[in-house]
Amino acid sequence: METTLVLLKPDTVQRGLIGQIISRFENKWLKIVWLKMISLSEDIVNEHYDFLMDKPFFPKIKSYMTSSPVVALVLAWTDVVKTVRNLTWATNPSDALPGSIRWDFALTIDANIIHASDSRETAAIEVKRFFKEDEITSYEKISDKIVG
Ligand code: ATP
Ligand code: MG
């Protein structure tokens, strides 16, 4: 089954939205395989958003992402990378589709609630960045029989 990495960003934690966002995944039948709350170091933010390091808004991203813990999840399902990006939608919440997570909850392009991997290749790297192999939980969910 394909996997993807999600981070529920500091504003999700501070605004008490963790449960509502996770419900979106559960309602869509996505399987939660790993989940933890962590405080991000500056080093991991530098690595995670290294492609934005030269942007003028990078310092703002860094202070935002380290301002409070985040919730990291690995979700599994067929086509899960695309599915979660569609649930999340555009970086700027004003471009997001009504009903998507960013449309419904995000305040600004900076405080946009959630990170979701943008390709299978990125997802494989990002899962390893946030979760060690020995953190893997293995369980059977009833929906596994449908996906195979
Ligand atoms: P994420 O990687 O967090 O899921 P994304 O894939 O939609 O978001 P990216 O292009 O990867 O968007 O940008 C990473 C983060 O950098 C965005 O979530 C946003 O907070 C910030 N960012 C991107 N572009 C801008 C911008 N033009 N102005 C301010 N912040 C931006
Ligand atoms: Mg991105």
The per-residue DSSP string of 24-54 comes to: HHHHTTPEEEEEEEEPPPHHHHHHHTGGGTT
**pTM, two decimal places:** 0.96
CA gap 74, 126 in Å, rounded: 10
Tokens representing residue 91 in the block: 């970086």
In eight-state DSSP terms, residue 1 is -
In eight-state DSSP terms, residue 118 is S
Domains of the chain: 2-147 (3.30.70.141)
User: Residue-wise pLDDT tens for the chain (148 aa)?
Assistant: 899 999 999 999 999 999 999 999 999 999 999 999 999 999 999 999 999 999 999 999 999 999 999 999 999 999 999 999 999 999 999 999 999 999 999 999 999 999 999 999 999 999 999 999 888 778 999 888 887 6
pLDDT value of residue 39: 98
- Residue whose CA is at the smallest distance from ligand 1 atom 20: 110
Distance from Cα 47 to the centre of ligand 1, integer Å = 14
Judge whether 73 and 43 are in contact, CB under 8 Å: no
Distance from Cα 91 to the centre of ligand 1, integer Å = 5
pLDDT value of residue 148: 61
Instruction: Tell me the catalytic residues.
Output: 115
pLDDT value of residue 147: 73
Q: How many CB atoms neighbour CB 140 within 10 A? A: 8
Which residues, at least 6 apart from 144, have a Cβ–Cβ distance to it below 8 Å? 1, 31
CA gap 124, 135 in Å, rounded: 15
Cβ of 12 less than 6 Å from ligand 1 = no
- Residue whose CA is at the smallest distance from ligand 1 atom 7: 91
CA gap 92, 7 in Å, rounded: 17
